[in-house]
Amino acid sequence: MLVRKRTVAGLVAIGFIACAADKTLAQDTVKIGLILPMTGPQQSTGAQVAAAARLYMQQHGNIVAGKRIEVVLKDDVSVPDTAKRIAQELIVNEKVKFIAGFGITPSMLAVAPLATEAMIPTIVMAAGPSIATDRSPYIVRTSFSGSQSSRIIGDWAIRNGIKSVVTIVADYTPGMEHEAFFKESFVRGGGRVIESIRYPLQNPDFAPFLQRAKDARPDAIFAFVLSGQGGTFLKQFVERGIDKAGIKLIGPGDVTDDDLLPAMSDAALGTVTAHFYSAAHPSEMNKAYVDAFKKASGMRPNFMSVGGYDGMHLIYEALKKTGDKTDGDSLIAVMKGMAWESPRGPISIDPATREIVQNIYIRKVEKRNGELYNVEFATFEAVKGAATAAKN
């Protein structure tokens, strides 16, 4: 027993890196090409998703339905052309049966046509534009759609006395969508968006935008920043005295990312966001997940990590269901409608859209045992993603 365990653990460790072809096992090996930003500005997303995938394999072994699972991890540095070239290599040379990952939307969009052409199930574990699964019939998403959070926080703001807002979002597809989805519910409820600011995706310096927002004297700033950017955003928010000016901070949960929250100042306290995952989610499964993740990686898991963990679960369960078949159509067919408990709560794959259906929680930053957490206080159950891209 002990020997077997040690052997399996050894294979997991080897299987996660690109290992030399094992000819005797070649036909029984299922390769997953994991494309993530392991370096560059979004490297925290790569680190979180890769750690979660690795943890899933450690917990569930690397043999599924008689096949050996091997993850081939590649760094796209968040450059879409690189993601595309890597995907081509993974398909042609590595003969992967799945592609997964994607730290940012442009990388996912660059790979989508290849998924269709090669009929490869492609699991979006991290990116969050509303346009994703409609880009290829072979795309399934385990991350999130920005629409799921931003509409809900728009409604919450109205019901909680926020009448005017300045929006600050990253200037690319997900940012524009967050801005549009938030406006849709906030303006419909009678709120006023005084100004919509978009900051450049590369090397963001939020200071001038935050100053402009402060000068407009809104009740709140609605912010969408990418995972990994929230620490700088909050620091510059405090430096401009925006918290002291009584201007609230709201948004989807990217700004109070669990990965960065422990290092943020107490100025984050009271920030209300809508999101699908908090490390403080009070389920037994999540407590075990957070403990195991911290132990294995030294990091607190964030919302990107659960997309990776659940993406691996989707792949494992699909392989169990299809048995000997590893073609794209068979695998996608069994993924449709699949439902399971995730560390974030109950989730499923919408059979019509291949989009994740999940709870969205309203959370407030509070201190628990001396550490900052997003503490959930309201739940919107089984929220679907937007079927179409946001207009404007």
Applying CB under 6 A, the residues found at the interface with ligand PHB are 104-105, 127-129, 174, 226-227, 254
Is 337 within 8 Å of 348 (Cβ atoms)?
A: yes
Of the pair 254, 310, the CB lying nearest ligand PHB is at 254
CB closer to ligand PHB out of 104 and 319: 104
CB of 160 to ligand PHB, least distance (A): 24
- Which one, 57 or 169, has the nearer CB to ligand PHB? 169
174 vs 328 by CB, closer to ligand PHB = 174
Rounded to an integer, what distance in angstroms lies between the CA atom of residue 74 and that of residue 167? 35
Give the residue with the Cβ less far from ligand PHB, 318 or 365: 365
The least distance separating ligand PHB from the CB of residue 131, rounded to whole angstroms, comes to 10
Q: Tell me how far apart the alpha carbons of residues 124 and 103 are, in angstroms, rounded to a whole number.
A: 9
Count Cα neighbours of 234 within 13 Å in the Cβ-side half-sphere. 27
CB of 257 to ligand PHB, least distance (A): 7
Indicate the Cα dihedral angle 32, 74, 341, 386, nearest 10°: -100
Our CB check for ligand PHB shows the closer of 105 and 148 to be 105
Least distance in angstroms from the C-beta of 238 to ligand PHB = 21
How many whole angstroms separate alpha carbon 146 and alpha carbon 356?
Answer: 12
- CA quadruple 305, 307, 313, 316: dihedral sign: negative
Maximum separation of any 2 CA atoms in the chain, in Å = 68
Work out how close the CB of 152 gets to ligand PHB at its nearest, in angstroms, rounded to a whole number: 16
Nearer to ligand PHB, 129 or 385 (CB): 129
Q: Residue 26 is encoded by which pair of tokens? A: 């070649």
State in angstroms the smallest separation of the CB of 126 from ligand PHB. 7
Those residues with Cβ within 8 angstroms of residue 299's Cβ, 6 or more apart along the chain or in another chain: 47, 48, 51, 259, 293
Residues in CB range of 175: below 8 A, 6 or more apart: 169, 198, 201, 224
Burial of 325 (0-12, 13-18, 19+ CB in 10 A): middle
Q: Cβ of residue 227: shortest distance to ligand PHB, in angstroms?
A: 4
